[in-house]
Amino acid sequence: GSPFLQYRGEDLYLEDVRLADLATQHGTPLYVYSRNAMRAALAPYQQALEGRQHLICYAVKANSNLAVLQTFAQAGCGFDIVSAGELARVLAAGGQPGKVVFSGVGKTRDEMKLAMQAGVKCFNVESTAELEVLSDVASQNGLTARVSLRVNPDVDAGTHPYISTGLKGNKFGIAHELAVETYRRAAQLPGIEVVGIDCHIGSQITDVSPYLDALERVLDLVEAIESHGITLHHLDLGGGLGIRYTDETPPDARTLIGQLLARIDVRGHGHREVMFEPGRSLVGNAGVLLTEVMFLKPGEQKNFCVVDAAMNDLMRPALYEAYMGIVNTRQRRGETTTWDVVGPVCESGDWLGRDRDLNVQPGDVLAVLSAGAYGMTMASNYNSRGRAAELMVDGAQVHVIRARETVESLFAEERLI
Ligand code: LLP
C-alpha cells in the first residue's frame, strides 16, 4: 500500500482526508489527487540525478491540471509537451519555457513558431520532413530552433501494443539506420541548432532491460554522430516507467536511473546533461476516481454494479482493457459478491472493472485506484456528460483544482441555424 492512501478503521483516506466525505461534499464522479504522493514519486528521480547536470521533464499529457503542473514547476521540473495547448498550460502554471521539450510527430507550423517564441529548450524532432519545416519556420521568423532527434532504437518495451513506441513498426522516431544522415542534414539547415538526442520506447514499462538496451543503441548513435563533428549536449531517455496497478513490480526510479547512469559513465558519456520525461510514474498512483454505486443488477451470467463514472471519465479500461483497482471507501464486513463495475454510457465497452469481488450497496462510494495518470486528460464529453471535478489534497487541506463541468458549457459554442 501507499503511505498516502490507506484505511483508517473502515474508512479510506488520501493523506489526512476521508474520501467518502469528499464525495458527499463535492459530488461524484470526482478525481482526487495527493500532492505529497506526487512529490514523493518525484523524489527518487531527483535523488538519483543529484550532483549531475540533469532535467526532469514531467510529461504533461499524463495529468495536465494547472495545480499538478504548478506542483512540479515548484519542485524544479521542466515539462515534456506535445501541443501548443500543453505549452499554454505550462506557462499558465508558472513553468519555465527554458525547461520545456516539445515532442510529437505532428507539430504544426503555428505550434513551432509559438514554442520558438516562448523559448523552449528543445524540439524533439521525429522526421526529416518535420526538420525541414522547423528550419523554414525558424528562418522566416529570424529565430533558431534547438533540436534533438528522437531516434527509434527498435527495442521491445514489453508493454501493451497501443503504448509501445520504440519498435520499427511504430510511427514514432527516426529509424536507427537513418539517424546519422538525418543529424548531418540537421546540422546543415540554417534554422536548426543541434543540441541533443532522445528516445522514448513506450509506457508502463516494468523492466530495466529495455531501457538498458535502448541506451546502448542510443550511445552507439551518439558516438557515430559526434564522429561527424556534431556535438550532442544532452541525452534524453524519455519516460515510460511503469507503476503498480495490480501485481506489477516495476523498478524504483532510483534503481532504474542508477543503472542507466552507471552505463552512461562506463561508456564515457558522463559529461552530458541527462534528461527524462516521466508522466505516469509521477502521478498515476497519486490519484483516485471516486464514483457512487447507483444500482445493483444481479443476473444469471453476470452481476452488474452500475456506478456514476463511465468510460468518458476514465477511458483506460475500455480502451486498453486496463486493470485498475477498485475498492469501497467505507469497508463493509461480510461476504463479497463478484461484480462487473459498469458506467451509465450506452456502450458494452463501458466498464471500469470486471469480475471484482466487492461488498457494496447502492450509495456506497468506490475508489478507482491509480487514476492520477491518463484519467482526466483522456476524459471526453461522450453522452453529453460534463467532465468530473478535480480536487488536490495536501495534508488535511482540500483544494478544488477544477470545478465540475456544467452541461451548458458543453454546448455554449454551438449555434442553432
Ligand atoms: N515522452 C513521450 C515522448 C511520450 O510519448 C510519453 C507518453 C511520455 C514521455 C510519458 O510516458 P509515461 O512516463 O507516462 O509512460 N494513455 C496511455 C499512455 C500513453 C503514453 C503516451 N506517451 C495509458 O493510459 O496507458
Res 157: pLDDT: 77
Res 161: pLDDT: 63
Percent of the chain with pLDDT over 90: 94
How close is the Cα of 59 to the center of ligand 1, in Å? 7
Grid coordinates given for 168: 520499427
Tens digits of residue pLDDT in 299-350 = 999 999 999 999 999 999 999 999 999 999 999 999 999 999 999 999 999 9
**H helices present in 75-173, as ranges:** 84-92, 109-118, 128-140
Other residues' Cβ atoms within 10 Å of the Cβ of residue 354? 14
Judge if the beta carbon of residue 236 lies within 6 A of ligand 1.
Answer: no
How far apart are alpha carbons 105 and 371 in whole angstroms?
26
Model confidence at 166, in pLDDT bands (50, 70, 90)? low
Q: Say if residues 32 and 14 touch (Cβ distance below 8 Å).
A: yes
Other residues' Cβ atoms within 10 Å of the Cβ of residue 291? 27
Q: Which of 169-173, 231-235, 364-368 has the lowest mean pLDDT?
A: 169-173
Model confidence at 189, in pLDDT bands (50, 70, 90)? very high
Res 407: pLDDT: 96
- CA neighbor of 68 nearest in space, from 44, 45, 50, 95: 95
Question: Is 77 part of the annotated catalytic residue set?
Answer: no
Contacts 24+ apart (CB under 8 A), 76-79: 76/46, 77/42, 78/121, 78/275
Judge if the beta carbon of residue 80 lies within 6 A of ligand 1.
Answer: yes
Grid coordinates given for 137: 519556420
Grid coordinates given for 7: 484505511
Distances (CA, A) of 125 to 28, 53, 177, 227, 295: 41, 22, 16, 21, 50
Res 164: pLDDT: 64
Res 163: pLDDT: 63
Distances (CA, A) of 39 to 35, 73, 130, 338, 394: 6, 11, 35, 36, 11
**H helices present in 172-328, as ranges:** 176-188, 209-226, 253-266, 280-283, 316-320
Distances (CA, A) of 220 to 169, 268, 269, 345: 21, 12, 11, 50
Res 172: pLDDT: 84
Q: Which residue in this structure is represented by grid cell 501548443?
A: 84
For the chain, what is the mean pLDDT? 96
Grid coordinates given for 11: 474508512
78 residue type, one letter:
G
Taking the CA of residue 124 as reference, the ligand 1 atom at the shortest distance is 3
- Cβ neighbourhood burial of 296 (10 Å; 0-12, 13-18, 19+): middle
Model confidence at 170, in pLDDT bands (50, 70, 90)? confident
Tens digits of residue pLDDT in 339-398 = 999 999 999 999 999 999 999 999 999 999 999 999 999 999 999 999 999 999 999 999
Model confidence at 158, in pLDDT bands (50, 70, 90)? confident
How close is the Cα of 279 to the center of ligand 1, in Å? 6
Judge if the beta carbon of residue 279 lies within 6 A of ligand 1.
Answer: yes
Best of 60, 61, 105, 320 to mutate for ligand 1, by most ligand atoms within 8 A of CB? Answer: 61
Q: Say if residues 167 and 161 touch (Cβ distance below 8 Å).
A: no
How close is the Cα of 75 to the center of ligand 1, in Å? 21
Res 204: pLDDT: 97
What is the arithmetic mean of pLDDT over 16-26? 98
Q: What angle do CA 104, 108, 113 make, to 5 degrees?
A: 105
The model's pTM: 0.97
Judge if the beta carbon of residue 200 lies within 6 A of ligand 1.
Answer: yes
Grid coordinates given for 346: 450506452
SS3 label, residue 27: coil
277 belongs to an annotated ligand binding site: yes
362 belongs to an annotated ligand binding site: no
Judge if the beta carbon of residue 240 lies within 6 A of ligand 1.
Answer: yes
Which residues, other chains included, contact 149 with Cβ-Cβ below 8 Å and sequence gap of 6+? 124, 125, 126, 131, 174, 179, 182, 183, 186, 194, 197, 198
What is the arithmetic mean of pLDDT over 283-309? 98
Percent of the chain with pLDDT over 70: 97
How far apart are alpha carbons 221 and 227 in whole angstroms?
10
**Structural domains in the chain, sorted by start:** 5-34+284-410 (2.40.37.10), 104-276 (3.20.20.10)
Which residues, other chains included, contact 109 with Cβ-Cβ below 8 Å and sequence gap of 6+? 133, 137
89 belongs to an annotated ligand binding site: no
Grid coordinates given for 54: 540533469
